[in-house]
């Protein structure tokens, strides 16, 4: 089994790469998806967030207003740290549970946006960084997530620098081009991960 950590800055295209790897047969475990799961209505995680940040971060239906909470924490490092202390341990526990239940999957890919920030690079056999120029990240966030340019830049500045992220990489996927370009890069990435998995198991 080859354990792969997949990361990249916000708007870099991690999701596109993860979807393609899943189509090749990788077991993909997405930290963002699990972060939603552990704060779903009725969970201890959501109760703890409401206690820490107040009921203003809840929608009328009782679920988390992620956009409002994001605005609150991304402008305050201390509040961001408080939120991370609630969510990250729960996500880590769920990721381990899923991985342990996976049996003998050849390649397990954990998609972790803050992999470098949380010092997790050394816990994986391979770290794949999806890289894109900052201008492309901003454009994607404005186009696909409805952020303003200043909101996009604030989210990006809350993460480590592009250089720090690349320094942690075993392999890099350059997502500065078209989706067709990305298809070719992920095909090559999958071939390399499969080779490494076979070598490790052999």
The verdict on 1 and 44 lying in the same domain is no
Per residue in 42-51, pLDDT (tens digit) is: 999 999 999 9
- What is the total count of domains within the chain? 2
Whether the predicted model's global pTM rises above the 0.85 cut: yes
Residue ending a domain, choose from 104, 124, 159:
104
The verdict on 95 and 169 lying in the same domain is no
The verdict on 179 and 113 lying in the same domain is yes
The verdict on 57 and 119 lying in the same domain is no
Cα(87)–Cα(36) distance, rounded to whole angstroms?
9
Residue ending a domain, choose from 63, 78, 104:
104
The verdict on 112 and 87 lying in the same domain is no
- Please give the pLDDT value at position 184: 95
What is the rounded average pLDDT for all residues in the chain? Answer: 92
Residue ending a domain, choose from 84, 104, 124:
104
Give the residue numbers spanning the domain of 141.
Answer: 1-26+106-194
- Please give the pLDDT value at position 10: 93
Going through 62-199 in order, the beta strands assigned E by DSSP cover 107-111, 126-131, 171-174
Residues 6+ apart with CB under 8 A from 165: 7, 8, 9, 116, 129, 131, 159
Q: Answer whether residue 127 is part of any domain.
A: yes
The verdict on 61 and 122 lying in the same domain is no
- Please give the pLDDT value at position 202: 64
- Return the CATH number at 47: 3.40.50.300
The verdict on 119 and 189 lying in the same domain is yes
The verdict on 90 and 187 lying in the same domain is no
The verdict on 120 and 176 lying in the same domain is yes
The parts of the chain modelled with pLDDT lower than 50 are none
The verdict on 169 and 188 lying in the same domain is yes
Q: Return contacts of 60-66, CB within 8 angstroms, 24+ apart.
A: 64/39, 66/36
């Amino acid at each position: 089994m080859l354990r792969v950590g997949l990361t990249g800055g916000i708007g870099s295209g991690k999701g596109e790469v993860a979807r393609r790897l899943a189509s090749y047969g990788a077991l993909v475990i997405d930290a963002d998806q699990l972060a939603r799961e552990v704060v779903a209505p009725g969970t201890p995680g959501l109760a703890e967030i409401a206690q820490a940040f107040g009921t203003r971060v809840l929608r009328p239906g009782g679920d988390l207003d992620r956009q409002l909470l994001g605005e609150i924490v991304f402008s305050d490092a201390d509040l961001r740290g408080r939120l991370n202390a609630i969510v990250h341990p729960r996500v880590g526990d769920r990721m381990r549970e899923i991985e342990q239940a996976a049996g003998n999957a050849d390649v397990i890919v954990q998609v972790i946006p803050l992999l470098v920030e949380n010092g997790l690079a050394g816990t994986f056999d391979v770290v794949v960084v999806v890289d894109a120029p900052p201008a492309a990240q901003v454009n994607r966030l404005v186009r696909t997530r409805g952020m303003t340019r200043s909101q996009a830049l604030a989210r990006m500045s809350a993460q480590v620098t592009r250089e720090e992220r690349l320094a942690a990489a075993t392999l890099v996927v350059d997502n500065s081009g078209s989706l067709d370009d990305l298809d070719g890069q992920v095909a090559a990435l999958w071939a390399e991960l499969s080779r490494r998995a076979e070598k490790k198991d052999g």
